Amino acid sequence: MNKWTKLTLPLLQPVAAIIVGLLAGAIAIIIAGGDILETYAEMWKGAFGGMYFFTNTLSRATPIILIGLGAALAFRAGFFNLGAEGQMVFGALCAALVGLYMPGPGWLVCIAALLAGVIAGGLWSVMAGYFDSRFGVNLLISTLLLNYVAVLFAGYLVAYPLKDRSGSAAMAQSEMLDNSVWLPKLISGMPLHVGFVLAVLAALIIFVVLKRTVVGYEIRMLGGNPLFALFGGVKRGPMMIGAMFASGGLAGLGGAVEILGSQYRYIDGALSTADYAWTGIMAALLAGSNPIGTLIAAIFLAALQTGGMGVERNTEVPLEVGDIIQAVLILFISARFTYSFLKRRKENKSDGTAV
């Protein structure tokens, strides 16, 4: 295989998936009675048209990137952590609580709140890992179900004991954070905050860790062939706890930066309806769990969402066009999974001493 095909081949499937996604979107636009070019133009403007919309997209991408990186890390180690939503919600909740109730200077409270988010998300994730290694509870199922526990518990807290009673609205939400603990904006007047820098840094760090470090090597081998890793002396237990903590911690951080940088309070359902967690997981899948790829995919998916909002604002075509494109993407990515799975099975059959 020459260098050119080696570089382009992994890109072929995602690009093809995106093209087919856009085509499917075009059909939906026709059905909705819109003009394809105009709709896509509005979509582009909503996502990237001008400084405000561009930074808005990046801001929306921030939690998605962090959550996606967490998922990618777990996937690389071979652990199917689908609990990003719960981990994010717990991270967000704890960040909000620390932000509200910890005394001290604003910058210190902000850092403590971020850390609280990491620890809360990480521990929630480790719990599922522990259930798996200790009691054999399937990780995929436990992480998935723990999402409901986390979301409903956080919802209860802000609906009753911690409910903001100062305002007139009857919404289930916590009190507002003091603006001294807010994450600073990168450009004044724009939605983009420091969390985005954290997300980019995290992507770079994970990239280097996976590629260059002993731990990263063990993670990759464990994910590639767990028996080979065991044989070579990789200890699955500690690796699992570590990988699950890091994975959940990143999701928790994603929730925390969203609270401290954008929403400034925990609002019941706000993180779930924005679909940050599942979009993040999708970004990781779209990028084949490559950290830099996850970063790019997360921004792309965020752009689809902000672009969809632009479409809804300025045309008759509904917001859901963006969702349709996303859905088709998922289909085509899962097609890639099936394809590589089939390929592997074929290879297994022809094992042995050929020639």
Cβ of residue 236: shortest distance to other proteins, in angstroms?
9
Question: Is the CB of 77 or the CB of 328 nearer to other proteins?
Answer: 77
What distances in angstroms separate CA 51 from CA 41, 298, 310, one per listed residue? 16, 19, 14
The residue range among 62-70, 137-145, 180-188, 346-354 that interacts with other proteins, by the rule CB under 8 A, is: 346-354
Are the C-beta atoms of residues 294 and 284 closer than 8 Å to each other? yes
- Measured CA distances, 170 to 160, 167, 271 (Å): 11, 8, 18
Site string for other proteins, 288-327 (x = CB under 8 A): ----------------------------------------
Provide DSSP, 249-318.
HHHHHHHHHHIIIIISS-BTTHHHHTTHHHHHHHHHHHTTT-HHHHHHHHHHHHHHHHHHHHHHHHSSS-
State which residue, 51 or 342, has the beta carbon closest to other proteins.
342
Q: Is residue 234 involved in binding other proteins (CB under 8 A)?
A: yes
| CB proximity list for 162: less than 8 A, separation 6 or greater | 97, 174, 175
Euclidean distance between CA atoms 26 and 162, whole angstroms: 46
* Binding residues for other proteins restricted to 167-226, rule: CB under 8 A: 212-215, 217-218, 220-221, 224-225
- How near is the Cβ of 350 to other proteins at its closest, in Å? 9
Min dist CB 228 to other proteins, Å, is 5
**How far, in Å, CA of 350 to CA of 355, rounded?**
12
- In angstroms, give the least distance from the CB of 222 to other proteins: 9
Toward other proteins, which CB reaches closer, 228 or 337? Answer: 228
CB atoms within 10 A of CB 155: 18
Q: Which is nearer to other proteins, 170 or 227 (CB)?
A: 227
The reply on whether position 7 binds other proteins by CB under 8 A is no
Nearer to other proteins, 10 or 50 (CB): 10
How many C-beta atoms lie closer than 10 Å to residue 36's C-beta?
16
- Shortest distance, position 287 Cβ to other proteins, whole Å: 16
Q: Count the residues of the shown chain that bind other proteins, applying the rule CB under 8 A.
A: 27
Burial 118-129 (b: 16+ CB within 10 A, else e): bbbbbbbbbbbb
Provide the CA 181 distance to its chain's centre, in angstroms: 24
Q: Which stretch binds other proteins (CB under 8 A): 54-62, 178-186, 198-206, 228-236?
A: 228-236
**How near is the Cβ of 336 to other proteins at its closest, in Å?**
14
Query: According to the binding rule CB under 8 A, does residue 11 interact with other proteins?
Result: no
3-class SS of residue 260: helix
By the criterion CB under 8 A, which residues form the site for other proteins?
1, 212-215, 217-218, 220-221, 224-225, 227-235, 344, 347, 351-355
